[in-house]
Amino acid sequence: MLIAPSGTVTTPFSADVFAESWSTIYATRAGDQVVYISNVKTGAIDRIALNGDAQTSFTEIASGFSTNKGALGSISAPAGLTYDAAIDTLYVVDTNANRVAALSNLSAIGTDGVIVSGNKFSGAAAASATVIASGAPLNGPISGELLVNGDLVVGNTLDPNGTNLLVEISPPSGVVATKNVDTGAAGAIFGIVTVPKTVTTMGPYGPVNAQTNEIYFNDDNTNTVMLLAQ
């Protein structure tokens, strides 16, 4: 057990405490093993470095992301944590603020290196934090996954008129595409997983391989897991 039910981190970091953990992702880079966790109560992002199953460090790298702890089933806090090891960047789906933020040079961000206050970033690593998409069509975005082209696919939970959108976001240019995957009640999309896929077509000089994705997502309206093939 790495984290006790009380929220305290086990030895040797028992003085560190989670503030209602919400989203998590396991990341590896250059042999390092790291778990990143977001918190509902404080809007913080924590890093736990591992050696096998043993913790080697615990660091709160960011704090102040917007949160709104409503009734059961209506929590909005930084979620959809997605890590791109190729560029050492963590993407944070900032649900309550209807935006997606990027934390670049992630491995170098120290204790409270990024402090979020509304639309402003401060702290020693403030330059690492950027907003890559904000506002419509994002509406209660909660989940995110990396695509093979470096873009993100993000799932909305609070679309107006009962639509449920998957939104593709390019870090350099923002929203590039949307797809309505359920026209029933809002809030159908929660979990997303992307799987790389090689598609072979015949070109003028023989077979041509292209990398694409299969996107799996749950649909709470129909109690199903769906596959969207690109």
Instruction: Summarize pLDDT for 122-145 with one digit per residue, the tens.
Output: 999 999 999 999 999 998 898 999
User: What integer pLDDT is reported at residue 230 of this predicted model?
Assistant: 64
Residue given tokens 């093939």 in the structure block: 229
Mean pLDDT of 175-194: 88
User: What integer pLDDT is reported at residue 70 of this predicted model?
Assistant: 63
Sign of CA dihedral 217, 222, 223, 226: negative
Kind of pairing between the strands at 21-29 and 32-39: antiparallel
Residue 162: pLDDT above 80? Answer: no
Cα 230 to the center of its chain, rounded Å: 21
Mean pLDDT of 212-227: 92
Phi, psi of 106 (to 5 degrees): -60, -40
C-alpha dihedral, 1 to 190 to 141 to 180, nearest 10°: 160
Residue 28: pLDDT above 90? Answer: no
**β-strand partners of 182:** 164
Q: Please, which pLDDT band fits residue 153 given cuts at 50, 70 and 90?
A: very high
Amino acid present at 9: V
**β-strand partners of 32:** 29
Q: Please, which pLDDT band fits residue 71 given cuts at 50, 70 and 90?
A: low
Q: Please, which pLDDT band fits residue 187 given cuts at 50, 70 and 90?
A: confident
Q: Please, which pLDDT band fits residue 74 given cuts at 50, 70 and 90?
A: low
Which carries the bigger pLDDT value, residue 84 or residue 187? Answer: 84
Residue 72: pLDDT above 80? Answer: no
Which carries the bigger pLDDT value, residue 11 or residue 149? Answer: 149
Q: Please, which pLDDT band fits residue 171 given cuts at 50, 70 and 90?
A: very high
Q: Please, which pLDDT band fits residue 73 given cuts at 50, 70 and 90?
A: low
Cα 124 to the center of its chain, rounded Å: 23
Contacts of 58 (CB under 8 A, 6+ apart): 9, 13, 16, 46, 47, 48, 49
Mean pLDDT of 83-108: 94
User: What integer pLDDT is reported at residue 54 of this predicted model?
Assistant: 81
